[in-house]
């Protein structure tokens, strides 16, 4: 008799655990499906990129807050560059003239931006930001 009661207690426990598991599964689905949760997502490739933030975090220290120049030259001339030329300069240190930029200018293909590999979206946003200054 005693064994039978323990058995049904065990079954009851398993059923309760399953109910909790299913309940939290659906709670999780509801929470991750929420529309305003998107603002909390970390930046991912393809997400909109804030060119000003990329510039401030990676370039302003040398080129000045408004790209007016500092350790590195002012970047006004860059406004006329094609995106391909801009990428070559920033990622690989190749000036459009063919000149190799001094090594003080980081090779962002190697260092990355904000500690992660530079994305095409970041490069597009950076150039657009500089062109808007």
State yes or no: residue 105 binds ligand HEC (CB under 6 A).
Answer: yes
| Count of beta carbons in the 10 Å neighbourhood of residue 21 | 9
From residue 46, how far is each of 23, 58, 74, 121, 133 by CA, in Å? Answer: 33, 19, 29, 7, 24
Q: How far apart, in Å, do the first and last CA atoms of the chain sit?
A: 84
Size of the site for ligand HEC (CB under 6 A): 21
Q: Binder to ligand HEC among 51, 87, 90, 125 (CB under 6 A)?
A: 90
Q: Which stretch binds ligand HEC (CB under 6 A): 2-10, 21-29, 40-48, 94-102?
A: 94-102
Q: Given the rule CB under 6 A, which residues bind ligand HEC?
A: 58-59, 61-63, 71-73, 75, 77-78, 89-90, 95, 101-102, 104-106, 108, 126
């Amino acid at each position: 008799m005693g064994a039978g009661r323990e058995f049904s207690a065990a079954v009851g426990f398993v059923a309760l655990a399953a109910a909790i598991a299913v309940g939290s599964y659906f709670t999780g689905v509801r929470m991750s499906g929420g529309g305003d949760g998107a603002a909390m997502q970390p930046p991912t490739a393809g997400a909109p990129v804030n060119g000003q933030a990329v510039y401030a975090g990676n370039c302003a220290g040398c080129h000045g807050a408004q790209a007016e120049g500092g350790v590195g030259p002012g970047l006004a001339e860059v406004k006329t560059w094609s995106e391909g030329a801009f990428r070559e300069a920033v990622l690989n240190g190749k000036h459009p003239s063919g000149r190799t930029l001094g090594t003080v200018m980081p090779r962002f293909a190697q260092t990355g931006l904000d500690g992660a590999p530079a994305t095409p979206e970041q490069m597009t946003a950076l150039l657009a930001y500089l062109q808007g200054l």
